[in-house]
Amino acid sequence: MTPNLVLFYVADPVVSAAFYERLLGIRPEAVFPTYAAFAFGNGLSLGLWSEGAKDFVSGGSGHRSELAFMVPDDAEVELLHELWRAMGVTIEQAPLDAVFGRTFVARDPDGHRIRVCTPDN
């Protein structure tokens, strides 16, 4: 069994789908009032599920996970940081050299963390 879906609970899947479409440059596979989904080329999908959906149940709050994108080099980290900042994306952590390599963290409209990083070689 291999994980193939990451779910983010969101206030408005339509708004979140528009954000991720702009950010990632890919169209969603599905957009409904209570759910939206993106498929990535590696078999992983991102689901955006409405907190107001009829069957939604979640016993917690907070954003203690990240959707992370590994990029090939530090220049790509800097490029994406500048591009996303220019798009008005909230940047939680500016680019820095972490123990694992160059990285920065952005946030989506619901506060979910999006990390871009490159492995330290």
Residues 46-70: tens digit of each pLDDT:
999 998 887 777 766 666 789 999 9
Cα–Cα separations (whole angstroms), residue 91 to 58, 86, 110, 112? 27, 11, 13, 11
Backbone angles phi and psi of 68, in degrees to 5 = -115, 145
The burial class, CB within 10 Å (0-12 / 13-18 / 19+), for 38 is buried
- Region of poorest pLDDT, from 40-44, 64-68, 72-76, 113-117: 64-68
Give pTM, 2 decimals.
0.88
| Alpha carbons 116 and 88: distance in angstroms, whole number | 16
Please tell me the total count of domains within the chain: 2
Is 56 part of any domain? no
The CATH number of the domain holding residue 18 is 3.30.720.120
Which residues form the domain of 98?
A: 66-117
User: Tokens standing for 101?
Assistant: 């390599």
pLDDT at 65: 82
Is 61 part of any domain? no
